Structure 1
């Protein structure tokens, strides 16, 4: 971290590029420096303010009135820049525009739907684990489990067909890259944006969806007048944009946590009811969603610094989730802690509405594994997948002991 005079009084300045490949490969040293520099830091490279301590990140997340999402949750400011796609009615909207779509999706993804899915997803996970283990006990856990299960069950739940599902991961990857600066990670996906966006848009139409999925339930809400017919496909698109990649990376994070903390896997095998704790602790520990932006709607005091109105503020969710001011031994993956206060799904009004669905997916996979597998260990070099917003694995070779 390089400290220098700031254009805003009483705030340290850092010229690090948090979206560089070096930082994306290993963000922990930067997160530590960010937290230690102060409650708010000015990132000179992008002319934004940043918060990395738990207290300030949580406060910004819940204060939607002063830290708005409607100007975009990425670096681009929708007040002055045209977004590359229609803004999300949930992620990139504030009340009152945010309220009706949020109510509909909360109802669609509620406990009744999860009870219906639990038995089906449990059976699907057991079948997938049996298939993987039948092929061998040493494999890459990313394609074999972390990608395979969400791509198998979540599109079914939404109600889209099987053809073209391979488009969901690159589309989501680009969408989350686009929250950052227009760097090489964004450029690598630009040649397919039109194709991928077109395909996703087609899946959101009423006629493309089965009659018994989340998508049909969203359109039924439009028929009842709870949202407009124009909003319905945008709400479906929000599910398809954010509902696959994040779960893939969460399951990868859990498996990496267990492979590097074998004592914690032994705890899960002894008590499979810890699967939900394992999921939330992985969200805290690895933070699949690393960052989001907000925009100030007025002058806001953070610590001793007044951040002016109209400024982008970059919230480092991952730094907050390992803040030693909030967590004991934050760098340890530990099923003995209560991770429920983590900010990996956001907090407050814009907290991830689909988190219970992702939790159920991960719980199904972990329970199926815990019934068959005694140990999990890394079987070779791992490789990260770089994304401007997400913490992800490209390859995660594992070796399992079955018995």
Structure 2
């Protein structure tokens, strides 16, 4: 990897075969072909240079001075109606992220939020049991409302109906991944922005009068401009429901197909942290992140010109056999180096520790502790959606 182009560097290959519809059905065969044939390639369909190998994605994350987060004309800014911190570079990014970190570090997660995560998981598990009569849709009846309620609490948006927050999250995520520029998705984003802003009017007014430990309160207390507060709360909403709900269903889906490893977890709860890490590697909650090059750069032997919009496919990097042994296998005992499930470097997902606690140490272990016979309903199939942010929209289960 080099910053300055060299005479031996290749010009950009073109992956003109890449089909977004096929990616939405199952992106992993296409990711494997990209890594094998052209790990750095221009995709006319996605309108980005795609980096699909671990080496290239890791390099991009380590060099934010070349791979800028301040992407011109990006879908995320359009979806949310403003520029959140994730679309900014340091020092501006660091200044906006610092107050959020005050309530999202592991110590604060344990002291402030773990109890709420526990009580919320119990609430929605009991509701699922009451309604389900031995079967349910794990996403609709447990994972989605639980992830939304946890985030309502963490944002201080306690008057918001969790499923409304979940809908805003879905629409913001759809807009961020709207690489095909579908107007119907932009229309949904506009409605959700208006509803979210109305809810934030109440939340901000209350928190200015009565501060608490929530993310929104921390942003306000830092003296941040209110428009920036709103942009960053919408950023938290976009990922703070979608990603943890998918982590819950993904892990259950994987364990249903790995009975030996599930038995190990039931016998030794100390393994749950490893299971969570491996589950997020296998099905990365953040499939692709977008950057823009500010100078010519060589990645995996290919010159990427300055001013190029780049998609670093983390979900593909986490299946790279040059980095992981037998990467298409789910293995809770996997060793080796770190994966890129939450990104890395200065833009690593701020919610990583909250997700690990809420999902990997509380929600999924509770499901199996209370329902050791939990399994996917053999008579009903799951449904998947997306590839930039991919997860199950439905996971029928029985117990």
TM superposition score normalised by structure 2: 0.88
1:52-110 Cα distance to aligned partner (Å, 9 max, x none): 111111111221110111115xxx459xx983544443210001211111111111222
Q: Which moved more, 1:61-70 or 1:43-52?
A: 43-52
Aligned partners of 2:171 and 2:192 also within 8 Å = no
Q: Are the counterparts in 2 of residues 291 and 316 from structure 1 also a CA contact under 8 Å?
A: yes
Deviation at 1:298, TM superposition (A): 0.4
Residue number among 185, 191, 208 corresponding to 1:189 in the alignment: 185
Q: How far did residue 191 of structure 1 move?
A: 3.0
The equivalent of 2:6 in structure 1 is none
Q: In 2, are the aligned partners of 1:39 and 1:302 still within 8 Å (CA)?
A: no
C-alpha distance 348-303 of structure 1, shift in aligned 2 (>3 A): same
1:167 CA drift (Å) = 2.7
- Give 3-state SS (helix, strand or coil) of 1:65's partner: coil
User: CA shift at 1:181, angstroms?
Assistant: 4.4
Distance, in Å, in 1 between the alignment partners of 2:177 and 2:364 is: 32
The answer to whether residue 78 in structure 2 is matched with residue 91 in structure 1 is: no
Alignment match of 1:143 (pick from 112, 136, 140)? 140
Change (3 A) 1:341 1:349: same
**2:375 alignment partner, SS class:** strand
Q: Is the 8 A contact 2:137 2:397 kept in 1?
A: yes
Gap change, CA 1:77 and 1:126, over 3 Å in 2: closer
Give the equivalent residue in structure 1 for 2:5: none
Q: Give the Cα–Cα distance (whole angstroms) in 2 for the partners of residues 192 and 44 of structure 1.
A: 26
Counterparts in 2 of 1:387 and 1:187: CA distance versus 1, 3 Å: farther
Could you say if the C-alpha distance between residues 46 and 157 of structure 1 is closer, same or farther in structure 2, counting changes exceeding 3 Å? closer
Which of 228, 249, 253 lines up with 1:252 in the alignment? 249
RMSD: 2.5
Q: TM-score, normalised by structure 1?
A: 0.87
After superposition, the C-alpha distances for 1:132-159 in whole angstroms (9 at most, x for unaligned) are 2344332211112211211222202221
Unaligned runs of 5+ in 1: 1-7
CA distance in 2, matches of 1:87, 1:274: 41
> Does the aligned pair in 2 maintain the 1:159–1:215 contact within 8 Å?
yes
Distance 1:198 1:262 in 2: 46
Q: Which residue of 2 aligns with 1:378?
A: 376
> Does the 8 Å contact 1:272/1:370 carry over to 2?
no
Tell me which moved more, 86-95 or 124-133.
Answer: 124-133
What residue is the counterpart of 1:56 in the other structure? 56
Q: Which residue of 1 aligns with 2:197?
A: 201
Is 1:172 aligned to residue 173 of structure 2? no
Structure 2 unaligned blocks of 5 or more: 1-8
Match of 1:238 in 2: 235
Partner of 1:38: 38
SS of aligned partner of 2:373: strand
**Cα-to-partner distance string for 1:120-139 (whole Å, 9 max, x where unaligned):** 32233234324423443322
Q: Secondary structure at the match of 1:375?
A: coil
Q: 1 CA distance for matches of 2:337 and 2:157?
A: 32
Question: What is the CA–CA distance in structure 2 between the aligned matches of 1:15 and 1:392, rounded to whole Å?
Answer: 26
Would you say 1:16 and 2:12 are equivalent positions?
no
Within 1, Cα distance between the matches of 2:383 and 2:199? 30
Q: CA deviation at 1:339?
A: 7.4
CA separation of 1:178/1:163 partners in 2, compared to 1, >3 Å: closer, same or farther? Answer: closer
Provide the rounded CA distance (Å) in 1 between the counterparts of 2:176 and 2:262: 34
Offset at residue 46 of structure 1 (A): 4.0
2 CA distance for matches of 1:182 and 1:52? 17
Identify the residue that residue 157 of structure 1 maps to in structure 2: 154
Give the drift of 1:18: 4.7
Could you say if the C-alpha distance between residues 193 and 50 of structure 1 is closer, same or farther in structure 2, counting changes exceeding 3 Å? closer
Cα distance in structure 1, aligned partners of 2:74 and 2:122? 45
* 1:192 counterpart SS class: helix
Q: Deviations over 1:305-356 (max 9, x none)?
A: 2111001111111111111111112112221114761111111010001111
Distance in 2, Cα, partners of 1:178 & 1:326: 32
How far is 1:277 from its partner? 1.9
